[in-house]
C-alpha cells in the first residue's frame, strides 16, 4: 500500500513536471491509501483554480482508492508524529495515516524528505 500526498495528486492530475515520476504510483488505485485530508487539500485547490465541477470529478476519482477517515486513533498518532518530527498538522495527519495503514508516503513535500517510510520525489529546479 502507498499513500500519495496531495502534492503528488496535484502534480499527476495537472501533468506537472513530476507527473511521470508519480504516474507508476497511480497504476493500481486499489493499492492507494487516501486520507480524508488529502481529498480536502486536492479538492480545495482544484475548486479554487478550475471550478467546483472539476473538483468534484477529481474527488470521485480519488474515491476509487482506499479512503481513510480521520478518527481519534489517527488524531493521537498525528499529534505524536507532529511533535516528534515537527510537522504541520496536515502533514502529520498524512504521515500518521501512512504509518498506521502500513503504507509508504509518496511525496515531493520537503517536510517529509528525511522521514522513514517515505518515497521522496525530488523537485526539479
CA–CA gap between residue 4 and residue 29 (Å, rounded): 10
Question: What pLDDT tens digit does each residue of the chain (125 aa) get?
Answer: 999 999 999 999 999 999 999 999 999 999 999 999 999 999 999 999 999 999 999 999 999 999 999 999 999 999 999 999 999 999 999 999 999 999 999 999 999 999 999 999 998 76
Longest dimension (CA), the chain: 39
Question: What's the CATH code, domain 2-120?
Answer: 3.40.50.1010
pLDDT at 78: 98
Q: pTM for the whole thing?
A: 0.94
Count Cβ neighbours within 10 Å for each residue of 44-74 and write b for 16 or more, e otherwise. ebbbeeeeeeebeebeeebeebbebeeeeeb
Domain extents in the chain: 2-120
Residue identified by cell 470529478 is 57
CA 61 to chain CA mean position, Å? 14
Residue in 52, 50, 4 with CA at minimum distance from that of residue 25: 4
pLDDT at 123: 86
Residue identified by cell 492507494 is 32
Which DSSP letter does residue 101 get? T
pLDDT at 124: 75
Amino acid at each position: 500500500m502507498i499513500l500519495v500526498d496531495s502534492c503528488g495528486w496535484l502534480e499527476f492530475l495537472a501533468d506537472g513536471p513530476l507527473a511521470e515520476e508519480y504516474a507508476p504510483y497511480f497504476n493500481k488505485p486499489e493499492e492507494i491509501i487516501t486520507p480524508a485530508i488529502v481529498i480536502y487539500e486536492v479538492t480545495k485547490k482544484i475548486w479554487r483554480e478550475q471550478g467546483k465541477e472539476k473538483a468534484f470529478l477529481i474527488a470521485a476519482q480519488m474515491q476509487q482508492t482506499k479512503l481513510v477517515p480521520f478518527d481519534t486513533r489517527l488524531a493521537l498518532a498525528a499529534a505524536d508524529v507532529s511533535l516528534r518530527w515537527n510537522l504541520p498538522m496536515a502533514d502529520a495527519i498524512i504521515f500518521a495515516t501512512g504509518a498506521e495503514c502500513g503504507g509508504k508516503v509518496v511525496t515531493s513535500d520537503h517536510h517529509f524528505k528525511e522521514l522513514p517510510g517515505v518515497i521522496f520525489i525530488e523537485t526539479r529546479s
